[in-house]
Structure 1
Amino acid sequence: MSTRVTTLTLGGMDQLSAHARRCVFWEMDPAAVHDAGGFYDPEFEKEAWLSMVMLQWGSCAQVATLDDKPAGSAFYAPPNMVPRAQLFPTSPVSADAILLTTVRIEPLAEGSDLGAALIRAVISDLVRRNVRAIEAFGYRTAGEDESDVPGATAARDCSPAECMVEAGFLEDMGFEVVAPHHRFPRLRLELDRDHEWKVGVEAALDRLLEEAALTVAGMSGRTPVGAAR
C-alpha cells in the first residue's frame, strides 16, 4: 500500500473524503446555519471557505491518501478565520498561534500512523512560515450528553467526536494544556526550527523504511539462482 501526505489545493478537492468536503463544523457560524434552516449547501460553503483562506492566508490543509484514495486530512487557519473558534469555554486562541481545527482519519486507514504524519506535515508547513505556535481545542469524552457543545447546531452529520481532535492524541503529539476544561481543553504546541529538523529526519527515515520494504518485497518475489523451476 502506498500512502502520501500533501498540501491541499483547490484543484485537489477529490483528495478529501465525502465527510471532509461537506463538514462545516468549524467553517460556518452556528447561528447562520440555524437561520438558514437547512437551506444551504455545505460542500459549496466548505469550498468557499477554503478559497477565502487560501487566497488571503495560504495553505490551510494537509491531506493523506492511501493507494490514491482519501485516507485523512488536517485543517488549520488563523483563529479569526474560523467562526466557531470564539465559542468555546476555553476561547480565545492566543494571538501568536494558528488554530488546528480537525485531524480526521478515514476508516480505510484506521490503525495506521497517518494522524502523526498529518501533524508532522502541518508542523513543517507552519515552521517554514515562521508561525510561533499551534493551538487546538481538544475533545474529551465525558458521557454521551452533547448539550454543552458550543453551537451544537453548527453542521449536519457533524459532532465533536467527528470534527474535533481528541485531546489525548494532541498530548501524545507533544501539545500541552494551556486552558483546562473537562470537555474542551485548549492545547498548545510551541514551534521552532528544531521541529523542522525533526520532521525532516522523520520523513527521511520513513522514506528509507518504505524503500527497504519495497526492496525486501522485490527480493522475495525472485526465483533464487539455481532453484528448481
Structure 2
Amino acid sequence: MQASLFPIAQDNLSLVHPQARRSVFWELEATAVAAVEKSGHPEFEKEAWLSTTLFEQKTCGYSIGYLNPDPIPSAPAISTVLYCLRDYAPGAATLPTAPVSKDAALITSLFIDEVFRGVGMEAVLLDAALVDLIKMEVPAVEAFGIRDLKINGSIGLDPTVREIAAQRNRIGLIEVEMLESAGFEVVADHPVLPRLRMEMPPQDPLMSAMEAQLLLASVEVH
C-alpha cells in the first residue's frame, strides 16, 4: 500500500502521528506543560489546540500515512508536521534563540517514525507546509532547528538547552540540515538550537501539493 500525504482536518485528528498528539511543548506555556503531562492526558489539550488552530487558520499541518477506504479505520500517521502563527506557539519562548520574529509564522515540529527517518518524507512534509503558508500570505516562516549533539558534544550546555535537546524527538525538533535543504537560513545562531527563517515567497518555487504527492510516491515507504 502506498502512503498518502493529507492535510490535518477536524475529521482526521485521530490520525495525527501518535507522538504529535501527546506533545504539548510548543502549544502551551512552559509553566503549564508539566501539569498537563502529569495529568496523563496531554492529548486532550493537543486536540483542543488543533481544533482551535484549524478554526482560526483553516490549516495547521500535514500527515503522511496509510489511508483505508471507509468503513475500515485508518492507522495513525507515520509522520506529521505542524505549523501556526507565532501567537499559537507560546512554548517557543523556552528556546534560547527565541522570540520568533513578529512578522513570521512558525513551523513548530515534525514527528516521524524512526524507521522512516531520512528516506525523504521530511522534505515532502516541509514543502507541503510551506505551500500552505504561502497561501496564508505570511511575510516569513521561521523554525527552531537542532544541530547534531555528537558534533557539539564538547560544548557546555545550559541545563534548559540540555533538557530541550534531550527530548528532541518527543517534541519534534527538526534537524538544521533538513531546514537548510528546504531553503531556510540561520538568523539567530546557537551551537545546538539556532532559529532559521525563510522569506515568503522564496526565490525558488516550491512544489504544489500535487507535486509533493508525486514526490512522496517516489519514496519507498511500503
Bin for the TM-score computed over the shorter chain: 0.7 to 0.9
Q: Gaps (5+ residues) in structure 2?
A: 69-74
Q: Gaps (5+ residues) in structure 1?
A: 211-229
In the alignment, what sits opposite 1:219?
none
The residue identity in structure 2 corresponding to 1:135 is: E
Secondary structure, in 3 states, of the residue corresponding to 1:33? helix
User: How many percent of aligned residue pairs carry the same amino acid?
Assistant: 32
Q: Who wins on radius of gyration, i.e. which is larger?
A: 1
For residue 171 of structure 1, report the CA deviation from its aligned partner: 1.2
- 2-structure distance, mates of 1:110, 1:84: 25
Relative to structure 1, the CA distance from residue 111 to residue 183 in structure 2 (aligned partners, 3 Å threshold; closer, same or farther) is: closer
Give the TM-score normalised by the residue count of structure 1. 0.77
In the alignment, what sits opposite 2:24?
24
1:75-118 CA-partner distances (Å, limit 9, x unpaired): 01111111212222211111121111111221343342111110
Relative to structure 1, the CA distance from residue 160 to residue 198 in structure 2 (aligned partners, 3 Å threshold; closer, same or farther) is: closer
In the alignment, what sits opposite 1:159?
167
Secondary structure, in 3 states, of the residue corresponding to 1:149? helix
Secondary structure, in 3 states, of the residue corresponding to 2:159? coil
- 1-structure distance, mates of 2:37, 2:179: 34
Q: State whether residues 62 and 81 of structure 2, in contact with CA within 8 Å, keep that contact through their aligned partners in structure 1.
A: yes
In the alignment, what sits opposite 2:182?
173
Relative to structure 1, the CA distance from residue 113 to residue 67 in structure 2 (aligned partners, 3 Å threshold; closer, same or farther) is: farther
For residue 47 of structure 1, report the CA deviation from its aligned partner: 0.3
For residue 160 of structure 1, report the CA deviation from its aligned partner: 2.2
In the alignment, what sits opposite 1:6?
6
Give the TM-score normalised by the residue count of structure 2. 0.79
Residues 1:130 and 2:142 aligned together: no
In the alignment, what sits opposite 2:55?
55
Q: State whether residues 71 and 108 of structure 1, in contact with CA within 8 Å, keep that contact through their aligned partners in structure 2.
A: no
Correspondences of 1:189-228 after superposition (within 5 Å):
189-192=198-201, 197-200=205-208, 203=211, 206=214
1:149 to 158, 161, 172: 161
- 1-structure distance, mates of 2:118, 2:146: 20
